Amino acid sequence: MRSPTRAFALLLFALPFSAMAATPLEIWPAGNVAPQEVEAGGLPRTLQPAVRFQKVFLKILAGEKPGGWQADMESFCNQPAQTPLAAGLCEVARVWIARAQMEEIDALLHGYYRRNIRFPGTLAELGQLPQSLKKDPWDGSWSYSLLAPKGFSRLAGQRYQLGPARFPKLTTLSEAVRERAPQPHAWVVTPRDVAGSTALEFRGTKSTAVIQPGGGIDGCVLLFIGNKWALLAGVDQLFAIGF
């Protein structure tokens, strides 16, 4: 997949409304398609936070520095998680906040390296971390360990692995932007009625589940069921599927 660039973040607000309206599959593509920033005409009002999230997501893909979007991501976690959509947006936002914080810690680690020609054995050796970096976005401790190049155990202080406790091997911000891949899924999705409410049956090669918004399948969470489409959250992005 070609790396996202600013050319993908198309600003179409100057176009007539009919040209700006986009389908959920265009706003939140699941496959190898470049997402576009378009006005989401016709979507339910309850989905406006998800549209706003996608606009912040596009800023990240366009290469904007964390200072331009981190506060926006944090705003998704400052709202009450009273709905599956709100809870899902917060979880995905936390992944991007973690990457922004990892960049700050990385700068401290490289400052230590310049002084000592090695990385510290623990984050405690850096001294007192800023209050905003002491815990990961899930209020857990950071997972940090030294990595020795294969076959060179004496060089253990030359590399490290850093991530939040929930995703200890989370890719860095630059890696996440540069090496994006389509959200993988191979489900056959069928609407079901569960006690008078709409649910979806996800039938895949490895698992099958009937879930309603808030339920999970193959590491993804169902956020919203629309008319012949659904919105889901992966680890760090939203995507839509049709059925």
In a domain, 61, yes or no: yes
Q: How many angstroms separate the CA atoms of 237 and 99, rounded?
A: 14
- Expressed as residue numbers, the domain containing 23 is 1-179
**Residue 29 belongs to some domain of the structure:** yes
Which one, of 37, 23, 34, lies nearest residue 181 by Cα? 34
User: Is residue 200 situated within a structural domain?
Assistant: no
Torsion, Cα of 207, 94, 57, 236 (10° steps): -20
**pLDDT of amino acid 2:** 40
User: What pairing do the DSSP bridges indicate for beta strands 143-146 and 160-163?
Assistant: antiparallel
Q: Does the residue 95 lie in any domain? A: yes
Residue 96 included in any domain: yes
Which one-letter amino acid corresponds to residue 101?
Q
Phi-psi region of 195 (alpha: psi -120 to 50; beta: other; left: phi over 0): left
Report phi then psi at 203, rounded to 5.
-115, 115
* Structure confidence at residue 84 (pLDDT): 97
pLDDT at 32: 63
Establish if 83 belongs to a structural domain. Answer: yes
Which residues of the chain carry a pLDDT beneath 50? 1-20
Q: Looking at the 3D structure of the chain, how many domains does it have?
A: 1
| 188 inside domain | no
CB 200 within 8 A of CB 190: yes
Each residue's pLDDT tens digit, 138-185: 999 999 999 876 766 667 778 899 999 999 999 999 999 998 877 777
Residue 112 lies in a domain: yes
pLDDT of amino acid 8: 37
pTM, to two decimals: 0.86
List the structure tokens of 2: 């070609």
- Write the burial class of residue 99 (CB in 10 Å: 0-12 exposed, 13-18 middle, 19+ buried): buried
**Tens digit of pLDDT for each residue in 121-130?**
999 999 889 9
